[in-house]
Amino acid sequence: MTDSLRINGKRLWDAIMEVARVGATERGGCNRQALTDGDGTVRRIFRDWCEQAGLTVRVDEMGNMFARRPGTNSDLPPVVAGSHLDTQPTGGKYDGILGVLGALEVIRTLNDAGVETLAPLEILNWTNEEGARFSPAMIGSGVWSGQFDLEYGHNRADKEGITIGQELNRLGYAGSEPCRPFPIRAAFEMHIEQGPVLENEGLTIGVVTGVQGMRWYDVKLFGQPVHAGTTPMEVRRDPFMAFHRILARLYELGSQHAPEARVTFGDISVVPGSRNTVPEELKLAVDLRHPEQSSLEAMDAGMRTIVQEEAERANLGYQVDDEWHSSAVAFDAHCISAVRGAVEMLGYPHREMVSGAGHDAVYVSHVAPTSMIFIPCADGISHNEAEDASPADIEAGCNVLLHAMLERANAD
């Protein structure tokens, strides 16, 4: 039985602190953006540690790293776990790093205990998750999963015009492994929550069931610019006469899909923007989110109907521009139950939750059974040098990762 196995919390903590020295900032965070010298240094440290643990490291054409521990049945697809080692320019010590070094600690624990698994295990380090130096975010896992093609990935440039392809060559991480999916039995990503829910509820572990879907729009209303004093109200074509009804009805739409729906108006502008003239055009930024794709689509359709009805009622022209979207992700039932089973066996206080942020696990989930494990971070703060997580919570999260990986690796 392996139920009594526990990871070495101090060893994991020391590994996180050692990596945090590379690119350390004065205020206690890290600046180790993708494919900088600092990222190269940490990649070498990580590779050395993997090789010392007896793992075989492969690097693919996007610089993604895969470190493999054989199973007793080498025909089985591996159980994988990982995240990213790059940071924001004013990033913290834990975002991403926890998921990679936690997976390494799982391997070290199994090595110490002499425990073999049926399926092989692999640790992953995805290139440029943060999207801070090279846009977009999650480009390494995005190319790997087929979301973007390789040429697109290699040609992403930073502000100086230096491309990912050039930097991979310079650092020696333009690997020979094809950047494409291979069969995977189960994939896990342990991560700080980057929100306040676990901390506020006094919980240790989030069993992550999916990632919410998001849709961004610019809603435009076109009226007629006329004099504020001389034009009677009933003959005006005033975008604001529709705007206030649209706002009220969209909040109402959100409450029809409560409690998970999010409706946000983050920006508004009017043309010409003169105090004594009815606006000719009003532009409103709308952000709709929901963890269930069907609900998000219902909100999308409802929003379009509301804008059309209210624009017509106020005798206005209108336009709805789609700016960006990301579909809702429901994680794999077996992977979720492996995490839930591990948490219950270990006895940590927990809840199920949906991620409000994007992660490499979103792209991985397109091609492999996937789920995530969240641990609390202080005040929900992330992408910030003040980002903090407690040694006890980190240890707990890694124990959950260990037993979730064992369950999937040894399942029939």
CB 98 to Zn ion: min, Å: 9
Q: Write out the H or E segment, with its range, that includes residue 405.
A: helix 391-410
Q: How far is CA 94 from CA 43, 383, 384, in A?
A: 16, 10, 10
Task: Return the number of the residue (96 or 175) whose C-beta is nearest Zn ion.
Answer: 96
Closest residue to Zn ion, based on beta-carbon distance: 96
Task: Return the number of the residue (96 or 165) whose C-beta is nearest Zn ion.
Answer: 96
CB 84 to Zn ion: min, Å: 6
Task: Return the number of the residue (295 or 355) whose C-beta is nearest Zn ion.
Answer: 355
Task: Return the number of the residue (125 or 209) whose C-beta is nearest Zn ion.
Answer: 125
Task: Return the number of the residue (100 or 174) whose C-beta is nearest Zn ion.
Answer: 100
Per-residue binder mask for Zn ion (CB under 5 A), 32-61, x = binder = ------------------------------
Q: Which of residues 338-357 bind Zn ion (CB under 5 A)?
A: none
Number of residues this chain uses to bind Zn ion (CB under 5 A): 2
The token duo for 355 is 């991620």
Per-residue binder mask for Zn ion (CB under 5 A), 86-105, x = binder = ---------xx---------
DSSP-assigned letters across all residues of 21-42 = TTTB-TTS-B---TTSHHHHHH
Composition of the chain by helix, strand, coil, percent to 5? 35, 25, 40
DSSP character at residue 157: B
CB 73 to Zn ion: min, Å: 32
Helix, strand or coil for residue 155? helix
CB 86 to Zn ion: min, Å: 9
CB 225 to Zn ion: min, Å: 47
Q: Which residues, 6 or more positions from 307, have their beta carbon under 8 angstroms from its beta carbon?
A: 219, 246, 318, 320
Helix, strand or coil for residue 167? helix
Q: Tell whether residue 78 is a contact of Zn ion (CB under 5 A).
A: no
Task: Return the number of the residue (109 or 212) whose C-beta is nearest Zn ion.
Answer: 212
Q: Write out the H or E segment, with its range, that includes residue 375.
A: strand 370-375
User: In terms of Cα–Cα distance, which of 330, 353, 349 is closest to 400?
Assistant: 349
CB 299 to Zn ion: min, Å: 27
Q: CA angle, 368 as apex, 335 and 343 as ends, to 5°?
A: 15
CB 132 to Zn ion: min, Å: 11
Residues that bind Zn ion (CB under 5 A): 95-96
